[in-house]
Amino acid sequence: MSQTDARAVILERIRAAGASSSAPAEVPPPPPDTVLDESAMLELLVENLRDYRAVVTEVNGPELRPAVDAVLQRHGCRTVTVAPALDDSDRPTDAFTVIEDHGLSSQELDGIDAVVTTSRVAIAETGTVVLDHDGGQARRALSLVPDVHICIVRADQVVTSVPEGVSRLRPSVEKGLPLTWISGPSATSDIELNRVEGVHGPRNLEVILVR
């Protein structure tokens, strides 16, 4: 009862504030997006990812599995979690213990060294990868709890600007999928405004860009 009251009262206060009487305002469009050709766009993505301390490996299709292995080796990882839907071609080889996620608990995830995911979109201008957590991208906890996140980005997923990235993501949102935007590893600037990488999220973000 009180809830209905609150809703009605707030809406009534808004109407009484006189702000809702005018005709729809015409909002002029935002400035046009930056346009880059594909190679400049990929170069910018790599540059901006690195600027925010992500490690980037650029590979051709067949080199992907060895590249995943190499990253895991570099971090001394033994256990890796993946979504059951992750393609074989995107997974590490048998040299590592691959644990498929069939509802791992947070505590279980905390004991795993690394995660391999795909992504939905990458934005060059800001050095951002976006996951909608469908298929091989795994549910959110997987790319959050283990300390090494290996994220596979395919060249055709890359856009130049933030507005382009946003429009590409509408279908995911309409399906009700959650999104995680990631720009470099976890960081804080809370101590004297100095940037420190690595707080709660994975302290290592490894992006493998597949051309």
136 vs 185, which CB is nearer to other proteins? 185
Residues constituting the chain:
211
Among 119, 187, 208, 209, binds other proteins (CB under 8 A): 187
Among 34, 50, 69, 75, binds other proteins (CB under 8 A): 34
67 vs 82, which CB is nearer to other proteins? 82
**Residue 28 contacts other proteins per CB under 8 A:** yes
Place of tokens 């190499």: 70
Residue 32 C-beta: closest distance to other proteins, Å:
8
**Residue 11 contacts other proteins per CB under 8 A:** yes
Among 40, 85, 95, 173, binds other proteins (CB under 8 A): 173
**In the numeric block, which tokens belong to residue 153?**
């980005």
CB-count burial class (<10 Å; 0-12, 13-18, 19+) for 197: middle
- Amino acid type, 85: A
**Residue 90 contacts residue 64 (beta carbons within 8 Å):** yes
Residues 82-101 that bind other proteins (CB under 8 A): none
Q: Give Cα separations from 68 to 27, 148, 155, 209 (angstroms).
A: 46, 12, 17, 11
Q: Which stretch binds other proteins (CB under 8 A): 3-11, 66-74, 92-100, 112-120?
A: 3-11
54 CA to centre of own chain: 12
Place of tokens 């504030």: 17
Q: Which stretch binds other proteins (CB under 8 A): 89-97, 112-120, 152-160, 171-179?
A: 171-179
Cα(127)–Cα(51) distance, rounded to whole angstroms? 8
**Residue 31 contacts other proteins per CB under 8 A:** yes
Residues 139-168 that bind other proteins (CB under 8 A): 139-141, 144, 161-167
209 CA to centre of own chain: 14
Q: Which stretch binds other proteins (CB under 8 A): 4-12, 69-77, 90-98, 152-160?
A: 4-12
**Residue 97 contacts residue 115 (beta carbons within 8 Å):** no
Residues 38-77 that bind other proteins (CB under 8 A): 48, 52
> Phi and psi dihedrals of 163, rounded to 5?
-60, -35
Q: Which stretch binds other proteins (CB under 8 A): 9-17, 64-72, 74-82, 150-158?
A: 9-17
**Residue 81 contacts other proteins per CB under 8 A:** no
